[in-house]
Structures are given as structure tokens and as C-alpha cells.
Amino acid sequence: LQQRRGLRLSAPAAIQVTVRDALNQALDEELERDERVFLLGEEVAQYDGAYKISRGLWKKYGDKRVIDTPISEMGFAGIAVGAAMVWLRPVCEFMTFNFSMQAIDQVINSAAKTCYMSAGSIAVPIVFRGPNGASAGVAAQHSQCFAAWYGHCPGLKVVSPWSSEDAKGLLKAAIRDDNPVVMLESELLYGVPFEMSEQAQSKEFVIPIGKAKIERQGTHVTLVAHSRPVGHCMEAAAVLSKEGVECEVINLRTIRPMDIETVEASVVKTNHLVTVEGGWPQFGVGAEICARIMEGPAFNYLDAPAVRVTGADVPMPYAKILEDNSIPQVKDIVFAVKKALNI
């Protein structure tokens, strides 16, 4: 009636959604959409998930679609890989990716290599997902970032979301992909609300794997990060903007395949590059970005050496003050940008 009267209707407003709820929504929508999709892992069913990502799904879909497993990562990861080989679409949750080390033979030797070794006749459409990187006060054996580990391996796709839209769109894309996908989430982001657009609220919303996103436009320096450090970069950019330095912030979103073209285009514009990650420096994601820039056309546009901001090159300490000094902070990014700009 309002449209007939010539009145303009406003579009539905964006809403605030936590990363936890965005992941839950993605799982719910994909379980409903495709009966081949199922979720398995420790405590994912009756307990609603260790981090409540799978809240309500067991009650809705039952024992065959949401499966509690024994504490045996190699065992249930192997079951999931076998199921994927016969064209089911398992979502295999690791309570933390540190525990995926128990199943790395299944992830690498079984999932990642089978399509190539079978000359393309056997696809493995599986998602390995769970929290990755540092949490809070859980020490060395629960605080590693595996982006570089899994990003190193041909045959895998590796995604690492920051916002709620990232989480929903990338998880849905990963479930629909015919290749094994490793999805590295951040436990510290699960409860953080982000604005979710009307488009992202659609059941058909997916984010293409392999495409980075420019979160903030800038002209003086390019900041590249993934997962939680993207937020740190946004905070650092806001601080530096008050000092007249405009940072372009790139949310990498996908580790493999890496969208180096977006990074190159930004470096051509800003002439400076700073990479930020929570992982260790040696052979890290930032090291790969720097090498790719050096080997490509954007190198000739750099006015200063690229700078990496990483986690400290030590096992994660337990004490909070040591932990804080082992993880990149906003002040570290600000310092790195000023170093790159020589100010």
C-alpha cells in the first residue's frame, strides 16, 4: 500500500550478530539445505558444543546429523574423511586446532592428497573447523596458530574469518566446496558482536574462498592481517589517523589460496606494507606475503622494506603479563607503521 502511494520503503536495517551465532546459523542453514551435511566432534551434540557453536542443532537434526565422538581426533577425523570420500559432506570440529595435531595424518595424507593421487576421481568435500591461535590463559599447548602449517599444504583450502559475516559466509562456502577446507576460527571472537548486513542474513549468502576484503581505505600504508589481528589493525588505523596517517586495512580471510592481487594493488597505491599475525615469525603467513610482494610487480612500488608484526618466537607463556607481550598488540602495529614510514 505504501509503495502504491509512492512512499519509499527503507531496507531492513543491519543487525548485530556474534561470531558464535553466525557460525551456528551457517551450520543450521547448511544442515537444512543438504541432507549429506553432518557435524561430528567432541561434545558437539548433547552438550551443544564446547563453545556452543552447535547449540540446538542436535535437538533439531538428531543423532545421525550431529554426532558426539570419543576423545580420539585421529579416529573421528578418519571417519569424517572416509565419509567425504563417498560424497557425504562432514563438518569435523576440533575442540581446538592444537588437538588437530593428533589427526594431522588424516588431514594431510588422507584428505589433502587424495584428489591428486586419484587423478581427480575421488573428491574429499570435508570441513575441519574449530578455534585456532591464542586464547586467554591456556598456555603453550593450546595457543598455537596453524595458519602457516595448513597453508603450506597443497590440496587444502584454508580460511580464517574475522567478523560475523566472514564466519557465516566462509563456513557456508567451505561446506559447499568439493575440496577439503580448514577453517581457523578465534575463540576470543566467538562472543564478539559484529554488524551483519541484510545480504549476509540470506540463506544463500556465501563469501568466495580466495578473496580478501579491504576493511578500511587508506593511502599511506597497507596493513594485511587475518582473524583477530584484523581488529587490532582497525584500532591501530584509527589511532594513526589522528596523527595524519591513513592505513589501508586488508582482511585476508583466506590463507590458501591467497589473494595476493588485492595486496599488490594496495601496495601499488600506498607504497608501504605491514603484515600482522598471531603466529610465529619464521615461515609465517607474513613471510609468505612479503616474499610474494618481493617476487611480483608491486615490489618496484615499495618505498621502504616491508615490516612484519607477529607473535613472539617462543611457546606461549601462561602468565598474563608474559602472554600479553607474546601476542601482537595495537601499540606494536602503530610502532611498525611508524617504522615503515620512517616517522
Superfamily name with CATH number, domain 15-201: Thiamin diphosphate (ThDP)-binding fold, Pyr/PP domains (3.40.50.970)
Q: What is the pLDDT of residue 14?
A: 85
15-201 and 213-341 have identical folds? yes
pLDDT in tens, 174-231: 999 999 999 999 999 999 999 999 999 999 999 999 999 999 999 999 999 999 999 9
CA 340: distance to chain centroid? 26
Q: Which of 74, 336, 22, 343 is nearest to 185 (CA)?
A: 22
Reply yes or no: is the peptide bond before residue 315 cis, omega within 30 of 0.
no
Relative orientation angle of helices 164-176 and 19-33, to the nearest 10 degrees: 30
Q: What is the pLDDT of residue 1?
A: 43
Q: What is the pLDDT of residue 12?
A: 60
Q: All 3 cell numbers of residue 29? A: 542453514
Q: What is the pLDDT of residue 222?
A: 98
73: annotated active-site residue: yes
142: annotated active-site residue: yes
Q: What is the pLDDT of residue 4?
A: 42
Q: What is the pLDDT of residue 10?
A: 52
Which member of 42, 73, 165, 248 is catalytic? Answer: 73
Boundaries of every domain in the chain: 15-201, 213-341
d(CA 155, CA 160): 17
- Please provide the average confidence, as pLDDT, over all residues in the chain: 95
Which member of 93, 142, 226, 272 is catalytic? Answer: 142
Q: Which of 257, 183, 254, 189 is nearest to 224 (CA)?
A: 254
Q: Which CATH fold topology does 213-341 show?
A: Rossmann fold (3.40.50)
Would you call 256 exposed, middle or buried from its count of C-beta atoms within 10 A (0-12, 13-18, 19+)?
buried
Residue ranges, the chain, pLDDT below 50:
1-9
d(CA 302, CA 296): 11
